[in-house]
Amino acid sequence: MSPSKYAAAALFAASALATPNPQASTPSAASTEPSEFTANPNVGAGGNTFTDSPRFRVYSATGDEADKTLQMLESAYTCFVSDLGWRSSGLSYNSDSDTADTWYKENIYSVDSLDSAAGVMGSDPTTGLSFVQVVNTYLTDPSVTVHEYGHALTYHARNWVDQTATGAWWEPLANWLADTWMTSDLCASARERYSQPTGNSIIELKKVIGDSYQVIVDGSVDSGNYYQSWPILTYLTNNPDNFTGLGQDAVLRLNLEYEVGSNETPLHTLQRLLGNRATVQQVVGRYWAHMAYVDIGSEAANRAFLEQRETLGYENLDGSGQSYTVKAARQPQYFGANINPIQVSGEGSVSVTVKSNSAFTATLAVRNKDSGAVRYVDLENGSGEVTVDGSEEASLVVVNTPAKLIQYDPFKLSSEATSGLDYAVQITGGELLGIWDSDRGRSLNFLVVVPM
């Protein structure tokens, strides 16, 4: 999916909104939510041709196309608002209350074209309501329409609005929301209720893995990863390592527990979710270790990995024999990572030592090629040993995890954020070989374990 499909949405997220940002309310049991919301044609351009469902109105669409769009959105509403507790898009941004007298339908506009985007979310400051515009050829495509509705839910959740440090996180959130609706068990009953199919993941592994060294959410125009970086949100949601404080409401809580008006980064909020039980450094270290084989609790994402893995880029290290160093251009930046596959030939024990003058988290991910199960070995202070058998493969994952979180603007990365982790690796029982990658027309580096 081309980032330009959402260009206008990115601008919305990046631009400061001249609207108040009152303290968000948490979902309340005493909701006055009606079964049928009220239409408000003054939000967006309005129009004479429209089709309604209980909580949405789609303009300039009728018949089958409108029904498909509305069923998809009612299903997304059911998953995120009714089941997972996001603040309703029917409630005004301007109100603290979730017990409003009138709840409004979300207006969806089917349009002929948009300025270099397939969809865009807009807001009406007077009513505090949002609306979505989607180019008609994408109207029934959830990767666009549910993505844009994800921006609407972020707007109605309020705390990430008008904050520079969260600006670039709007896109990963919207893509996480679209992917979760299409693929996750969390939305299975909501999909079933509206007869919606389970889809394939929109994960873009060539970017997430191929450029994993980049800042965890990097909003740089053309080169950044902010449309692709969302799998971290899937990891926090599915919580395969069972960190206390994470789980199916983790992304919502990154919004709800954001310190209002502080311009803190979502990583700061994440530390608040974890309390003193774990650190962001540990969690992001484990996230990247799980990305070695895309073992983040999403079958759809794992399937995409298994289909695409031969085409992904892993050329991070230089060296030979037992000693390797990271290539300058591949040094992991702020909470970025290198995934270094170890191709196992035979069985044996591999000892690995990672050394750096800066803080890092290193993990060996070991995957059973028959069962697909992955085990993780933390390299304490960079050192550890693992015994791999003939049916296993392994990867060394090194993550730049500075001791202190920094304040950073993903749209204007500071030299502190892009400062790369220089590190060296010593391997006993393994060797780095150059392997020609015909797809990319260059050599790939693999660590090959030599049976001892």
Ligand X SMILES: *[C@@H]1O[C@H](CO)[C@@H](O)[C@H](O)[C@H]1NC(C)=O
Binding residues for ligand X, rule: CB under 6 A, are 241-242, 380-381
Q: How far is the CB of 362 from ligand X (least distance, A)?
A: 12
Q: How far is the CB of 239 from ligand X (least distance, A)?
A: 8
Which of residues 115 and 380 has its CB atom nearest to ligand X in the complex? 380
Which of residues 67 and 185 has its CB atom nearest to ligand X in the complex? 185
DSSP 51-80: EE-SSEEEET--HHHHHHHHHHHHHHHIII
Q: How far is the CB of 381 from ligand X (least distance, A)?
A: 4
Go through 347-367 and write b for each residue having 16 or more CB atoms within 10 A of its CB, e for each that does not.
Answer: ebebebbbebeeebbbbbbbb
Residue with tokens 């909003």: 219
d(CA 85, CA 27): 6
Q: How far is the CB of 376 from ligand X (least distance, A)?
A: 8
Q: How far is CA 118 from CA 5, 226, 387, in A?
A: 5, 17, 49
d(CA 86, CA 104): 16
Q: How far is the CB of 443 from ligand X (least distance, A)?
A: 35
Which of residues 222 and 380 has its CB atom nearest to ligand X in the complex? 380
Q: How far is the CB of 387 from ligand X (least distance, A)?
A: 18
E strands, 82-188, where? Answer: 106-111, 119-124, 129-135
Q: How far is CA 448 from CA 125, 275, 378, 445, in A?
A: 59, 40, 20, 9
Which of residues 381 and 443 has its CB atom nearest to ligand X in the complex? 381
Residue 308: how many CB atoms within 10 A of its CB?
15
Q: Name the burial class of residue 335, with classes exposed (0-12), middle (13-18) and buried (19+) by CB atoms within 10 angstroms of its CB.
A: buried
3-state helix, strand, coil in the chain (%, to 5): 30, 25, 45
Q: And the tokens for 161?
A: 């609005």
Q: And the tokens for 363?
A: 């993990």
Report phi then psi at 179, rounded to 5.
-65, -40
Q: How far is the CB of 384 from ligand X (least distance, A)?
A: 9
d(CA 107, CA 104): 9
Q: How far is the CB of 85 from ligand X (least distance, A)?
A: 22
Which of residues 49 and 244 has its CB atom nearest to ligand X in the complex? 244
Which of residues 83 and 378 has its CB atom nearest to ligand X in the complex? 378
Which of residues 241 and 385 has its CB atom nearest to ligand X in the complex? 241
Q: Is 355 strand, coil or helix?
A: strand
Q: And the tokens for 3?
A: 């980032």
Go through 9-44 and write b for each residue having 16 or more CB atoms within 10 A of its CB, e for each that does not.
Answer: bbebbbeeeebeeeebeeeeeeeeeeeebeebeebb
Amino acid identity, residue 349? S
Nearest to 232 by CA among 221, 222, 246: 246
Which of residues 87 and 290 has its CB atom nearest to ligand X in the complex? 290
Which of residues 52 and 385 has its CB atom nearest to ligand X in the complex? 385
Q: Which helix (H) or strand (E) holds 170?
A: helix 170-183
Q: How far is the CB of 422 from ligand X (least distance, A)?
A: 19
Q: How far is the CB of 293 from ligand X (least distance, A)?
A: 15
Which of residues 51 and 239 has its CB atom nearest to ligand X in the complex? 239
Which of residues 374 and 447 has its CB atom nearest to ligand X in the complex? 374
Q: How far is the CB of 382 from ligand X (least distance, A)?
A: 9
